[in-house]
Structure 1
Amino acid sequence: MSAGASGGAGGGFRAAVEARDLAAMRACLADDVVFRSPVAHRPYEGKAITGAILAHVIEVFEDFRYVRELEDRDGHALVFEARVDGLQLTGCDFLVLDEEGLVTDFTVMVRPLRAAEALAAAMGRRFDQIVAMASEDAT
């Protein structure tokens, strides 16, 4: 992978996240996107649930910022820093894009463990809301 600019194929998603623009984030997702959470054992499938997760995670993350972008012909890695419940974390969004530039596979990894646990707890408290939001969006 080589260092890429935010204007690359993943730039639309990055710009949407940095602007905290939920509609633009959702517009970057393929209908059949697969989201792989750093704190869940099974992937989530579909734009509705992925959009709902993104809507809540941008509220949970404090001081979120992308600090590096790597790309190759198969995808992008967007390295970020944030805080959750006062704990600093570093993470990476791994994006695979289709020929239209939509995200088809979205894998997130975070570290260190204590921050990942705080993220899991914060998102777990919102899980019912996430599922309800996804159900509304799917209809």
Structure 2
Amino acid sequence: MHPFRKAVEDRDEQAVADLLAPNVVFTSPVAFKPYPGKAITAAILRGVLRVFEDFTYVREIADPGGRDHAFVFTATVAGKEIHGCDFLHFDEAGLIDEFTVMVRPLSAAHALAEAMGAQFDRIAAEAAAESAAQSQVG
């Protein structure tokens, strides 16, 4: 099992964050503008773990070189069944530097947008705190 899949399925937030490159770019299925940086990406993924119920990966697809992976999933958000895919690209160090999510159907995408919108103040605060802590360490 891929380490990313294991971390997500174990709901191990730290293990997920440890797999993110500092320059990772997260592209949301419900927001136009991508989110650059590890702190905001990790915070968004923690928010997703809070709003997704019955989350499971159903398929894992990888390119022969190992740098591109697709993880197909199902979950429930606000009573709506959602189907989606996490498209990940890994850098030379094996860290995720591109993270794109696609979801369907539209009714579930709307439910996800609403649920994540309700989380966004917390997500922004978590990302700011993490960025501040990183700047003190680095």
Query: Is it true that 1:30 corresponds to 2:25 in the alignment?
Result: no
What residue in structure 1 maps to residue 69 of structure 2? 76
What's the counterpart of residue 13 of structure 1?
4
Match of 2:121 among 103, 106, 128: 128
Task: Output the TM-score relative to the length of structure 1.
Answer: 0.92
Matched residue of 1:40: which SS?
Answer: coil
For 1:11-64, what per-residue CA distance to the aligned partner results, in whole angstroms no more than 9, with x for missing partners?
111110010000000000000000000000000000000000011100100000
Which structure has more helix as a fraction of its residues?
2
CA distance in 1 between counterparts of 2:123 and 2:48 reads 10
Of all paired residues, the percent bearing the same amino acid is: 58
DSSP 3-state at the match of 2:39: helix
Mapping for residues 1-139 of structure 1, pairs under 5 Å: 6=1, 11-72=2-63, 73=65, 74-139=67-132
Over 2 Å off, 4+ runs: none
What is the TM-score normalised by the length of structure 2? 0.93
Q: CA deviation at 1:127?
A: 0.8
CA–CA separation in structure 2 for the residues paired with 1:127 and 1:88: 22
The secondary structure found in structure 2 opposite 1:54 is helix
Q: CA deviation at 1:100?
A: 1.4
The residue number in structure 1 matching 2:135 is none
Q: CA deviation at 1:133?
A: 0.4
The DSSP-based 3-state class of the residue aligned with 2:88 is: strand
Structure 1 CA distance, aligned partners of 2:43 and 2:15?
13
Inter-partner Cα distance in structure 2 for 1:90 and 1:27? 26
Aligned length: 130
Say which SS state the counterpart of residue 39 (structure 1) adopts.
coil
User: 1:52 is matched by which residue type in structure 2?
Assistant: A
**Given residue 21 of structure 1, which amino acid in structure 2 is its aligned partner?**
D
Contiguous gaps of at least 5 residues in structure 2: 133-138
Report the AA paired with residue 105 of structure 1.
E
